[in-house]
Amino acid sequence: MMIPSNLSSFSLRMTMMHLVLTAKEPNNNNPKMEEGARAEELQVQRCRARLDRLATASAGDDSEWEDMRLKRILVDYMLRMSYYDTAAKLAETSGIQDLVDTDVFLNAKRVIDSLQNKEIAPALAWCAENKSRLKKSKSKLEFLLRIQEFVELVKAKSFIQAIAYARKYLAPWGATHMKELQRVTATLVFRSSTNCTTYKVLFEQNQWDHLVDQFKQEFYKLYGMTLEPLLNIYLQAGLTALKTPFCSEGNCPKEDPLSLDGFRKLADPLPFSKQHHSKLVCYITKELMDTENPPRVLPNGYVYSEKALQEMSKKNGGEIKCPRTGDVCKFEDCVRAFIS
């Protein structure tokens, strides 16, 4: 059993207590029980490591905590993008093997690789191993795999085998997926050379890509993971505050993250920020800076309102002292900035 990395502290404690209480002594006469005991011990170790990590959240160094969190997010992204070796190396060098789920993704890699090689058996075996949990989530992954295997028999013109296969493996799904079952069995008549779009699509090569995507979705749900990588979610949380109609038109300055195609793609499904126009507030007077009270830029780069700088200049004999850095300059050295 894999323990999701995003569980709450209470959930982790309860899970760890359950594993500790239910753990059994290994039976040297039963290899399967020994293997099960080792797996339980591994999960207890991971729960303990994650609990210890949560315990240091308030007591530890914030910068160190955020650095570790970022590395976990990066490992999660690499594993989802199939950069397994790089993810394992980062987890090892950072000492966070117990805080990430590398081994679980490596098990999924075997199924993904087999589907990309147009092999169904490993995926079906995975479905059999997780049958009860997939049934609870009303997964149709196994049905889709069976459909693909049936279609491959039809494509190979093994019609008798295809009919026997449909009777044995597809017929039991008739009660819940009758329309899809009727559609796929009709390929016995239309064959792979058909020009009818309804059936032609079943023979296309991208059906294997759809199976890979479907397996990944079921895999994430089964282990309580987010469907999107955590890195995407965190980036979108920031991009949604920056997205405006002005940026979507491709008029962003180079300093804006949305000027890059990758960020624009991430922000595409996000709503526009509620505030389309920025407001500048003076750090000194807390008043709004506008055309009546324009901003002025000090030589050190900090910006304050003209009203605040004039008052400071009168009190200090024409000198301006930056309240943030302590730098001193003349009022004439402050350049006026224009709000567009």
Longest pairwise C-alpha distance within the chain: 100
Give the lowest-confidence range in 54-68, 100-114, 127-141, 159-173.
54-68
For the segment 209-253, what is each residue's pLDDT rounded down to a tens digit?
999 999 999 999 998 889 999 999 999 988 888 887 777 666 677
Report H helices in the chain. Answer: 9-22, 31-55, 62-80, 84-94, 102-116, 121-129, 131-136, 141-155, 159-165, 178-185, 187-190, 197-200, 206-222, 230-242, 245-248, 261-267, 306-315
Is the separation of the CB atoms in 127 and 142 below 8 Å?
Answer: yes
Query: Nearest CA to 17 among 54, 43, 56, 55?
Result: 43
- Residue 91 domain flag: no
Rounded-to-integer distance, Cα 228 and Cα 217, Å: 9
Question: Which pLDDT belongs to residue 39?
Answer: 65
For the segment 66-105, what is each residue's pLDDT rounded down to a tens digit?
888 899 899 999 999 989 999 999 988 988 888 788 888 9
Classify residue 27 by its DSSP letter: -
Q: Do 158 and 242 reside in the same domain of the chain?
A: no
- Residue 107 domain flag: no
Q: Is the pLDDT of residue 164 over 70?
A: yes
CB atoms within 10 A of CB 152: 18
Write the CA distances from 257 to 235, 252, 264, integer angstroms: 10, 8, 8
When comparing pLDDT for 251 and 117, which is higher?
Answer: 117
Write the CA distances from 83 to 211, 213, 216, integer angstroms: 20, 17, 15
State mean pLDDT over 152-174: 93
Give the lowest-confidence range in 55-64, 174-183, 273-282.
55-64
- Residue 96 domain flag: no
- Residue 326 domain flag: yes
Q: Do 215 and 117 reside in the same domain of the chain?
A: yes
- Residue 136 domain flag: yes
pLDDT classification of 6: cutoffs 50, 70, 90: very low
Q: Do 121 and 162 reside in the same domain of the chain?
A: yes
Q: Do 117 and 218 reside in the same domain of the chain?
A: yes
Question: Which pLDDT belongs to residue 121?
Answer: 95
Q: Do 45 and 129 reside in the same domain of the chain?
A: no
Q: Do 156 and 239 reside in the same domain of the chain?
A: no
- Residue 92 domain flag: no
- Residue 125 domain flag: yes
| Domain enclosing residue 47, as ranges | 1-55
- Residue 273 domain flag: no
Rounded-to-integer distance, Cα 227 and Cα 198, Å: 29
Q: Per the structure, how many domains does the chain have?
A: 4
Rounded-to-integer distance, Cα 244 and Cα 197, Å: 40
pLDDT classification of 5: cutoffs 50, 70, 90: very low
Q: Do 118 and 204 reside in the same domain of the chain?
A: yes
Q: How far apart are the first and last CA of the chain?
A: 56
For the segment 170-217, what is each residue's pLDDT rounded down to a tens digit?
999 989 999 999 999 999 998 888 889 889 999 999 999 999 999 999
Q: Is the pLDDT of residue 21 over 70?
A: no
For the segment 286-299, what is each residue's pLDDT rounded down to a tens digit?
898 888 899 999 99
Domain end call among 55, 70, 93: 55
Query: Nearest CA to 141 among 120, 162, 159?
Result: 120
Question: Which pLDDT belongs to residue 115?
Answer: 95
Q: Do 213 and 171 reside in the same domain of the chain?
A: yes
Mean pLDDT estimate for the chain: 83
Q: Do 128 and 179 reside in the same domain of the chain?
A: yes
Q: Is the pLDDT of residue 309 over 50?
A: yes
β-strands 335-336, 295-297 pairing: antiparallel
Is the separation of the CB atoms in 281 and 288 below 8 Å?
Answer: yes
In this structure, what CATH number is given to the domain that contains residue 326?
Answer: 3.30.40.10
Domain end call among 29, 55, 81: 55
Q: Do 216 and 238 reside in the same domain of the chain?
A: no
State what percent of residues in the chain have pLDDT above 90: 46
Q: Do 203 and 142 reside in the same domain of the chain?
A: yes
Question: Which pLDDT belongs to residue 247?
Answer: 72
Q: Do 23 and 120 reside in the same domain of the chain?
A: no
